[in-house]
Structures are given as structure tokens and as C-alpha cells.
Structure 1
Amino acid sequence: MIGRFVANGRIYEGRFDISDGFIFFDSYEIPLSSVKFLPPVEPTKIVAVGLNYIDHAEELNMPVPEEPILFMKPPSSVIGHEDCIILPNQSQRVDYEGELAVVIAEDCKNVSESEAEDYILGYTCFNDVTARDLQAKDGQWTRAKGFDTFAPLGPYIAEVNPKKLGIQTRVNGNVVQKSNTSNLIFDVFQLVEYISSIMTLRAGDVIATGTPAGVGMLKSGDVVEVEIEKIGVLRNFVLKIDRQIRCEC
């Protein structure tokens, strides 16, 4: 695993192993119960892909896109594992969207599909939280996707084969999304080629690869989890707070 976490007042960053309730980092053996995971990277940008699962296209009765549909989420929207998603006062409908995220290893531009794997650090869980009513109202997606806390990421980065991974989202323990990355319309390596032909990808940048069928609404008090096979579980708490009150999550 690769990531960042806090334990005993110290920030640890790099490669580690998890076994039997402990994190093994260099010569340190740290109980998981004492660890707070931070977002595993601090991206300069998050490039997200819309309508990239066959089952999601079918759910919406929409044609499969000929090219990836891209949008951006700001770095200020990133939160980590077990942080709080804050429901904004401007929206009455905020949805979860569980996704596989790609983390870029080094700066790259015009990368071919066959070279793409060389520029990927690994993969993690992502929740493309979306103010659905504002998305429909605005016509473009910047506001709906860009609120603070709308990009949960983590808990850490795993080096796995992304081609056939089970992915599911749970709300309060109930499975609401369940699919497999084999259902991606444009796979990870195609996305790296396509996006890097448009913009330079920096080390630590994140590509959110799209969500499967079953997106739905979150409400205050919910616990939402994105689990991806061989990677882990990203868990976040949902809160609606007065704008004058600071969240301590």
C-alpha cells in the first residue's frame, strides 16, 4: 500500500503493509486503531469521467459515448477516509457515486495506451459526490461537483490490476451500487491516453473513472462506503450543518 496517515501525532507517508490489525511502516509497527488515514495524495487536479459504465448508460437509457466525457473537480474538494461530507445549503439533492480512482505517478503528456501503466502509481477508492439538482439547473457541472468535501479519496493506494475489480457502494450498510471495472466503457489505460493528449497530468493527479448504476441520494446522518476489490473501503459520514458551525470531523 501507498498512502499518508497520522499516528501518535506524527504524519507517515510512503509504502506500508497492513496485517493482523497493524500497519508496518519501515521499522514501525503501529496499531490500526491508532491511525487516522489522510487523503493518500494531494492532487493538482481531479479529472473525472461521466457515463463510463455500460450498466449506468443502460440505467439512464442513454447511448454509449463515442469519447470520454470529462469534467473537473477542484483539489479543495478532497477529503480522506472517515472525514465528513458536508451537505451544502444550496442543494436539496446530493448523491453518492462510487468510483475507481487512478493516481498518476509522474508528470506525463501524450502518453499512449500501451505506455499508460508506466505512469500510474496505483488505484484507490473515490466518491464523486454530486449536487444533482444543481447539476440539472446549471447545465454544466462545476458547481454541482465542486463543493468542499465532495471528493472523498482513499484510504490508501494499492498496486493492482484494474481490469476486473468488483466495486460496490453501501449506504448505512445497504448495497446501493454493485458492478465490476470490466464494465467500464473506456478502461484505465485508454483514459490516461485520452486525457494526457489534452492536458499534462502531474504526479499525484487523480482520474476518477466513472460510476456504475444505482446512484442515489445522501442525507444527514448517513454513512457511505465505497469498496473496491483488492483495494479497500473508503468510509465517510454525511452531515448537514449550519454555515456558521465548523465541522470537527
Structure 2
Amino acid sequence: MKWARAQKADGTEITGVIVDEMLHPKASLGSETGTGEAVALSDLTLLAPVVPSKFIGLWNNFKAAAEKGGMEHPAHPLYFCKTDTSLSGPGAEVTLPTSAGRVVFEGELGIVIGKTCKNITPDQANDFIFGYTCINDFTSLDVLNADPSFPQWTRAKSFDGFGVAGPVIETDVDWRALTIKVLVNDRERQSYPADDMILSPEQIVSCLSQDMTLNPGDLIACGTSIGARPVKAGMAVDVVIEGIGNVGVTMVAPAA
């Protein structure tokens, strides 16, 4: 089942289930209660599928990247948080601020939390995972490493629009069978299997729930693998995960 959040022509936002190119509005994410007539997707603008209270991203969570970088496998997620204003959705224009310097794309699988969880086990985690989405976790490499005394993870990853999510949340998918791809101007630039993860989604959610309460709609990016590359203004960057969808944005230069 595919869930989406969208905007009508009058500015009204709706959340619901996609069936036969129609969005069927629901009272809330995961609700079975309908709230109006179905609307054709062609009459809507898709948004990021959730507005999370927390947008968490992982570092060093893929075996191939860890091997290439000479890094040990972590026993607990190595993570950072992106600000709420970094969130953007399908079709957005993402500005590359002058202060950001070199910026790279990072195609990732995203976990969406379905209900409040705290101190859960990996075996319990699937009951709290609502579904999966596509993520592009843009990162300013120059900002991240600008100060040798303090890697600036939050600043490097939290420029406006640097957290792309969408186009939908798929609730019926086996994450182990997925491949995460990134296309730049329609050319494949990144491709890696989700099952190369060091910590599985179930382990990630369990571990994070030991550190903090996870709320419905919270978004967790599972980390990226090898292949992340710099982007420039004018580039179209799409994250494609067959079985979930394609979330694309256009990189733009800052206004004069």
C-alpha cells in the first residue's frame, strides 16, 4: 500500500492512500477513516510524505562503504539529526548556498515510524515501522570538515531542502530485496543493494528507541553506500527505489 501527502490547487493538504492513480484521503497516516472523495494524482502536487518530529540519518551503515573507508562496523547506529526546514519533497528546487561549498547527493532508504515506541527489541520493531520511502541526504563536505575540532554534521546536512523524501511511503515491501539508485540528469551514478546494511532497519529502530522516544511520522535515513558524488546547479537528481518510487529534485544556484 502506498501512502502519500499532497497539496490541492487551493492549498489544502491531504494524506491518504494511492489506488489507481487516485489519492483517497484519510484522517491521518495509517488511519482507516476516510475524509472525503478521492482526488486524481494529476490534480495534486506531491509533498514529502510525512512532516517528522525527528529526521535522523545514519553514518557508516553499509559494508561496502565501510570496507572502502577502512571503518569498523558499528554496534549501535552512528547518527545525526537534520532540521525540519531541511525537508523537501518530489519536484522541489534545492538551492546550493554559496556557503555550502561542495555538496554531494546520498541516495538512501528511509524508514517511517508508525507509532510511538521506546525501549523496543529488534523482534518488536516491525510492529512500529509503518513503511519505507526514498531519501536524498544532501551533504556539504566543505562545511562538515571545515573545523578540525568539530565535524559539523547538523549544519552540513541541514541547509534548506537538503533532506528530500518521497514520493510515497510503501507499507508492503521487503527491504532486503531493494536496490537504491541515484540518477543525475538521467544517468545512473549510484546503485547498491539495501541488504548490504550493517545494521538492519529492525536493529536501527530498536537501538534508537533506547536513546529516545520515536514518534509516528519520524523519519530515519538508513545511510548510504559508495557512489555519492558532487552536484551542481542545473542538475536533476533522482533517487529511485523500485517498489517504492522515484523522488527527483533540481539543484539551483542561490538568488543573486
SS of 2:66's partner is helix
Q: Is the 8 A contact 1:55 1:212 kept in 2?
A: yes
Which of 164, 171, 188 is residue 201 of structure 2 equivalent to? 188
2:52 & 2:188 partners in 1: Cα distance?
29
User: Map of 1:1-249 to 2, 5 A cutoff?
Assistant: 1-9=2-10, 10-17=12-19, 19=20, 22-25=21-24, 28=37, 30-138=39-147, 139-159=151-171, 160-242=173-255
Counterpart of 1:2, as a letter, is W
Alpha-carbon distance between aligned partners in 2 of 1:40 and 1:46, rounded to the nearest angstrom: 13
Two-structure CA RMSD over aligned residues (Å): 1.6
What are the Cα deviations for residues 153-208 of structure 1, in whole angstroms up to 9, with x where unaligned? Answer: 11110012212211101111111110111101101000000000001101110111
Q: CA deviation at 1:143?
A: 0.9
Cα distance, 1:89 vs structure 2: 1.6
- In the TM superposition, residue 111 of structure 1 has moved relative to its aligned partner by 1.1
Question: By how many angstroms is 1:152 displaced?
Answer: 0.6
Quick check: which one's strand share is greater? Answer: 1
Q: TM-score, normalised by structure 1?
A: 0.91
Q: In structure 1, what is the Cα distance between the partners aligned to 2:252 and 2:9?
A: 27
Q: Compare 85-94 and 182-191 and name the one that shifted more.
A: 85-94
5+ unaligned residues in a row in structure 2: which ranges? 26-35
**Hey, what's the Cα distance between the residues in 1 that align with 2:158 and 2:9?**
33
AA partner of residue 8 (structure 2): A
Tell me by how many angstroms 1:88 deviates. 1.2
Q: TM-score, normalised by structure 2?
A: 0.89
User: CA contact under 8 A between 1:163 and 1:187: conserved in structure 2?
Assistant: no
